[in-house]
Amino acid sequence: MVQQAPLVMLDEPFTGIDEATSRELMDLILEMHRQGQTILAVLHDNQRVADFFPETLLLTPQRACWGATRAVLPAFSHVRSA
């Protein structure tokens, strides 16, 4: 990435790629975050969110919850990943 935008928005960045490429992409995303960039990513994979994203905005048709991922995800444990 040539420019270091303060905000990087990603819509389902892991869809359609193999696991090795997913790991490379996650490494890149984590490096951008370490360099001070804010990452806004739309994901339906709750496990990947739990493993890599410290804060989460979780949306359902009935509720929205934002905060530390470790606190947000259990509140929505009844919601199935798409």
Each residue of 40-49: pLDDT tens digit? 999 988 889 9
Is the domain of 33 the same as that of 54?
Answer: no
What pLDDT, on a 0 to 100 scale, did the predictor assign at position 20? Answer: 96
Exposed/middle/buried for 56, CB within 10 Å: 0-12, 13-18, 19+? Answer: buried
Number of domains present in the structure of the chain: 2
**pTM score, two decimals?**
0.75
Higher pLDDT, 63 or 1: 63
pLDDT tier at 4, thresholds 50, 70, 90: confident
Is the domain of 82 the same as that of 52?
Answer: yes
Is the domain of 1 the same as that of 26?
Answer: yes
Residues 1-20, mean pLDDT to the nearest whole number = 89
Higher pLDDT, 4 or 20: 20
- What is the extent of the structural domain holding 30? 1-42
Is the domain of 52 the same as that of 32?
Answer: no
